[in-house]
């Protein structure tokens, strides 16, 4: 096979428009590796360049950010990775930076394609095909190779001869795009999985433009709600000249009719762009950078942006026009996390569902679309989608009144004043909207408050809401503020529809400016004076709204002018796909028009559960979600001391073995970060010995918070090893502190990729087992115990991660979960996560498991673990053993999903696992929101703790263990990030050597 070495300075023209198919940002992952004794292979796929760890040593030797195997391999070492998506490969970057004297002398690369649902390939799979022959490498340098484009592949095997180290391995190529089978479906045409590419950026000083179109909203410490920082967005350098602007050009995955755009500024708070605009054109060129300006059509005029949020904007000038490229321009500079360009295909780009491509890449069946799709009719006429309400999108029509968790995320943060109020128990957001009136003198108009009790409007088939009336208030603005529940209205609506239009030149509504938004019950709106709007339209349930306005009160048109739309000239529909548009349309006949707005959310499927901890600033403290108050109240608790971290773990404010290990590690890192910045420095930084004593005492204290959780012990032991190695290396106290800080953050960050990997291992194993039994590999029902999702880990989850994986791959029918008393982690936390993720689910009492198994087909039980003994005996939330016994009776596979750190090889079996017993009182109490709901003065649902046992029972006669131990003989499989372990035939214990 031919190949070409590419000089490093030729990288831009060779690979700048390519996609890094192997990147973890796209979902690339390490599947298996022959040896990673000195440095783990997951480093190969990291986005950031390899840092120097010179002078740092661990138990096995010098530390490197890369993959390094043992010495003296008589053959070669190998690493198998799965690409983030199927694609055609045409190049590689094999980076040996910082490996000097221990670099890999030679490498070769093989590849193959396997359909989704297939078991991962082994190293000796005969289907591997060499795509890069054995090539020489040098020390501490990047090696670029270009090859002829391959057919579509999704697995790559990197061979290293004979052994050594590689820092990063990047696979470049083009995505095999995945489109909805229904051509009328709307989806993100710019998404990398749709074949989108960022082909030009004017500047990418701090963050590369290709980040704009990658999946999700970023990688989080605990859950990818919107990522942990701005590191994986597009960010330009500061401009110093008046009139400056930066821009990026995106080639869409296929030509299409565009509808709306989502611009995400997640984590860009002090550096978000002041405004942006969008242009589009049709071009056969890959990079139409030199196209005349008059060929670019404005599809979003210059519009202000806000910090740290998703902005949804309906596009203009897009009706019946096909575009291939979109240019986003930001003023004057700054950063954007993602851009999503929604529309429907009109082109003929090859897809994985095209026969020609199926033959080319070996696809056996059509692939599902990756990006969530939105149903809509043809993109003609005024915009019809009801988009999420934001202050920036609503600005042409009025103001949005709401509070913000992050005071740095308010609209116009330079001018919006936020202060503490109510003796420090509240934040006050000052004057988010004015009260304005311009009635002529002598009219007698006065300001006042009114209350509207609105009944829900009828939602027609296809999610359509007809608009038959528009009104305006010529001399006053008008505010509507949702009021929440009351004695008479116990279960109010959670959303309402807002439809607005500007006034036209003929003093009628300008239907081209018509916009629709969905507002939440936590958002109030203020219509500017003279803005046309639909009367208040609440959805699903009744809602009370307070109206703030000025009026005469005699029914005069000076107070309210109403325009009825009778629809006699035809109907203008915004329907779901497949519903026809009827009647002739004349935009100038707005007086004779019915409008229907599709309430399908363009962001459906993007909602994720809350993170267990946040640590946005390396030098700041930590915030955790108080899980005792979920799901009714979301309270963040600051963790600024080791004592506070211990209390949070001990009191169950944070729980889940991986999550508490992350908190402990971050607490140590945060404590040392503050110490390094203190002036004067604390005494424990005076010498390595003083620091060792200080840190060792804290680690021992943290371990006592939950001794059963082996992850916590593993984290404290790992930090202890780092501490001892740094002391032994002769480093000074400050250098040792920096080593511990880095190690603490690494403990936290590693968990997300591990969870995704073992969820995939477990999901694929279960699917294969179901198929082997003669059942179809779809419609799976899986039960879980307690909470093992993002709230219990650093992201994605363990057992709940397996369920999420099955849901994401389209084979899950329903998740079942137990309440998990007495703390109700299931009914509070798992229910919250499954509901937020949109996974169909059913809750059951702990005592109903047997009944469930008798009357329903359950394909597997998936649970997490707090500690796994050497023989496979597993300690987990009390109630797990009960479920395992019943599963064995009904011959249902019982699967434990837990990271390697949970396995305690020092314990032979479960009899040696210490079981924590909680205070008796905890089993006698139940806490939750009042029912019927009652909202307090701060707008928060009121909660209460009640005793469910007779008085006096709380002091004695209560058996309340936190955990029980499930014997290995009842466990079918144990899944770690290394793979799936099963027992040999007739065995009652596991050999965990293959997965540890």
User: What global pTM score does this model have?
Assistant: 0.59
Return the active site residues: 866
Predicted local distance difference test score (pLDDT) of residue 272:
95
Instruction: Calculate mean pLDDT across residues 74-96.
Output: 96
Query: What does the angle CA 816 – CA 819 – CA 820 come to, to the nearest 5 degrees?
Result: 115
Predicted local distance difference test score (pLDDT) of residue 468:
81
Are 981 and 871 in contact by the 8 Å Cβ rule? The answer is no
Write the CB contacts of 113 (distance below 8 Å, at least 6 apart in sequence). 86, 151, 152, 153, 154, 155, 361, 362, 363
Instruction: Calculate mean pLDDT across residues 10-27.
Output: 90
> Does position 920 have pLDDT exceeding 60, yes or no?
yes
Query: What does the angle CA 258 – CA 259 – CA 263 come to, to the nearest 5 degrees?
Result: 100
Q: Is the peptide bond before 622 cis (omega within 30 degrees of 0)?
A: no
> Does position 363 have pLDDT exceeding 50, yes or no?
no
Residue 224 pLDDT class (50, 70, 90 cuts):
very low
Structural domains in the chain plus CATH codes: 3-175 (2.60.120.260), 187-345 (2.60.120.260), 456-573 (2.60.120.480), 613-751 (1.20.120.420), 754-982 (3.40.50.10470)
CB atoms within 10 A of CB 803: 33
Q: What share of the chain in percent tops pLDDT 70?
A: 88
Instruction: Calculate mean pLDDT across residues 542-562.
Output: 91
Instruction: Calculate mean pLDDT across residues 736-753.
Output: 84
**Residue that is written with structure tokens 């050597």 in the block:** 993
Write the CB contacts of 845 (distance below 8 Å, at least 6 apart in sequence). 818, 819
Residue of 166 and 604 predicted with greater confidence? 166
Query: What does the angle CA 773 – CA 777 – CA 781 come to, to the nearest 5 degrees?
Result: 95
Instruction: Calculate mean pLDDT across residues 401-419.
Output: 90
Range of lowest pLDDT (119-133, 260-274, 399-413, 651-665): 651-665
Residue 963: which of 612, 629, 656, 646 has the closest Cα? 656
Write the CB contacts of 925 (distance below 8 Å, at least 6 apart in sequence). 822, 945, 946, 947, 948, 954
> Does position 360 have pLDDT exceeding 70, yes or no?
no
Instruction: Calculate mean pLDDT across residues 161-175.
Output: 96
Predicted local distance difference test score (pLDDT) of residue 638:
84
* H or E element in which residue 909 lies: none
- What's the farthest any 2 CA atoms get from each other in the chain? 99
Two tokens at 674? 């503050």
């Amino acid at each position: 096979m031919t190949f070409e070495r590419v000089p490093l300075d030729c990288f831009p023209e060779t690979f700048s428009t390519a996609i890094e198919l192997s990147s973890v940002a796209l979902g690339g992952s390490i599947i298996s590796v022959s040896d990673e004794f000195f440095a783990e292979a997951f480093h190969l796929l990291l986005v950031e360049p390899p840092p120097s760890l010179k002078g740092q040593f661990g138990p096995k030797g010098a530390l490197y950010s890369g993959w390094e195997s043992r010495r003296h391999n008589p053959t070669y070492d190998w690493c198998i990775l799965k690409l983030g998506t199927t694609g055609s490969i045409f190049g590689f970057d094999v980076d040996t930076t910082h490996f000097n004297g221990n670099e890999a002398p030679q490498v070769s690369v093989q590849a193959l394609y396997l359909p989704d649902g297939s078991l991962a390939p082994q190293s000796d799979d005969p289907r591997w095909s060499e795509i890069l022959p054995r090539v020489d490498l040098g020390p501490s340098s990047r090696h670029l190779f270009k090859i002829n484009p391959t057919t579509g592949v999704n697995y790559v095997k990197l061979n290293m001869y004979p052994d050594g180290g590689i820092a990063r391995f990047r696979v470049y190529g083009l995505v095999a795009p995945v489109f909805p089978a229904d051509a009328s479906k709307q989806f993100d045409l710019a998404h990398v999985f749709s074949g989108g590419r960022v082909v030009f950026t004017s500047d990418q000083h701090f963050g590369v433009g290709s980040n704009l179109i990658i999946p999700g909203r970023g990688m989080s410490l605990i859950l990818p709600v919107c990522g942990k920082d701005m590191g994986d967005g597009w960010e330009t350098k500061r401009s110093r000249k008046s009139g400056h602007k930066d821009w990026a050009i995106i080639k869409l995955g296929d030509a299409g009719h565009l509808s709306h755009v989502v611009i995400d500024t997640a984590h860009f708070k002090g550096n978000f762009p002041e405004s942006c605009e969008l242009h589009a054109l049709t071009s056969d060129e890959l990079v139409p950078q030199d196209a005349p300006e008059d060929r670019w059509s404005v599809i979003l005029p210059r519009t202000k942006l806000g910090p740290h949020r998703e902005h949804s904007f309906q596009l203009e000038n897009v009706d019946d026009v096909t575009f291939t490229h979109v240019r986003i321009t930001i003023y004057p500079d700054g950063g954007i996390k993602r851009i999503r360009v929604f529309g429907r295909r009109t082109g003929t780009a090859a897809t994985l569902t095209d026969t020609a491509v199926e033959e080319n890449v070996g696809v056996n069946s059509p692939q599902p679309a990756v990006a969530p799709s939105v149903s809509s009719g043809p993109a003609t006429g005024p915009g019809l989608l009801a988009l999420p309400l934001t202050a920036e999108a609503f600005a042409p029509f009025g103001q949005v009144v709401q509070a913000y968790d992050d005071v740095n995320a308010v609209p116009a943060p330079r001018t919006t004043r936020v202060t503490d109020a109510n003796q420090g128990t509240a934040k006050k957001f000052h004057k988010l909207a004015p009260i304005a009136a311009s009635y002529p003198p002598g009219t007698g108009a006065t300001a006042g408050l009114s209350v509207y009790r609105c009944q829900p409007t009828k939602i027609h088939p296809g999610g359509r809401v007809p608009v038959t009336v528009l009104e305006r208030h010529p001399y006053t603005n008008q505010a509507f503020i949702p009021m929440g529940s009351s004695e008479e209205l116990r279960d109010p609506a959670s959303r309402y529809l807002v439809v607005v239009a500007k006034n036209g030149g003929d003093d009628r509504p300008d239907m081209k400016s018509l916009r629709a938004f969905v507002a939440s019950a936590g958002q109030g709106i203020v219509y500017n004076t003279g803005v046309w709007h639909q009367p208040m339209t609440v959805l699903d349930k009744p809602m009370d709204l307070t109206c703030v306005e000025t009026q005469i009160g005699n029914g005069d048109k000076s107070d309210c002018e109403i325009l009825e739309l009778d629809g006699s000239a035809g109907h203008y529909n915004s329907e779901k796909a497949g519903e026809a548009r009827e009647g002739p349309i004349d935009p100038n006949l707005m007086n004779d028009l019915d409008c229907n707005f599709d309430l399908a959310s363009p962001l459906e499927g993007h909602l994720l559960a809350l993170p267990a901890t946040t640590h946005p600033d390396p030098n700041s403290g930590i915030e955790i979600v108080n899980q005792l108050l979920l799901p009714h109240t979301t309270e963040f608790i600051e963790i600024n001391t080791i004592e506070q971290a211990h209390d949070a773990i001990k009191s169950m404010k944070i729980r889940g073995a991986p999550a508490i290990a992350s908190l402990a590690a971050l607490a140590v890192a945060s404590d040392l970060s503050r110490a390094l910045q203190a002036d004067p420095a604390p005494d424990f930084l005076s010498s390595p010995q003083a620091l060792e004593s200080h840190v060792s005492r804290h680690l021992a204290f943290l371990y006592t918070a939950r001794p059963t959780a082996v992850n916590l012990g593993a984290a404290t032991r790992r930090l202890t090893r780092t501490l001892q190695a740094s002391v032994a290396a002769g480093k000074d106290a400050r250098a040792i502190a920096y080593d511990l800080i880095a190690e603490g953050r690494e403990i936290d960050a590693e968990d997300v990729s591990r969870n995704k990997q073992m969820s995939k291992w477990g999901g694929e194993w279960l699917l294969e087992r179901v198929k082997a039994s003669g059942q179809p590999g779809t419609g799976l029902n899986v039960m879980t115990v307690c909470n093992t999702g993002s709230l219990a880990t650093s992201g994605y989850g363990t057992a709940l991660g397996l369920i999420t994986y099955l849901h994401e791959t389209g084979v899950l029918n329903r998740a079942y979960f137990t309440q998990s008393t007495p703390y109700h982690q299931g009914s509070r936390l798992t229910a919250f996560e499954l509901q937020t993720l949109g996974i169909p689910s059913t809750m059951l009492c702990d005592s109903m498991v047997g009944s469930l198994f008798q009357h329903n087909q359950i394909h597997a039980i998936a649970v997490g673990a707090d500690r796994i003994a050497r023989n496979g005996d597993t300690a987990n939330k009390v109630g797990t053993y009960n479920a395992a016994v019943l599963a064995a009776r009904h011959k249902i596979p019982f699967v434990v999903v837990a990271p390697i750190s949970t396995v305690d090889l020092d314990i032979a079996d479960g009899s040696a696992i210490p079981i924590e017993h909680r205070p008796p009182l905890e089993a006698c109490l139940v806490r939750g929101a009042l029912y019927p709901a009652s909202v307090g003065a701060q707008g928060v649902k009121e909660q209460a703790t009640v005793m469910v046992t007779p008085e006096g029972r709380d002091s004695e006669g209560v058996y309340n263990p936190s955990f029980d131990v499930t014997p290995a003989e009842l466990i079918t499989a144990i899944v770690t990030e290394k793979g799936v372990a099963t027992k040999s035939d007739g065995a009652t214990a596991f050999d965990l050597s293959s997965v540890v």
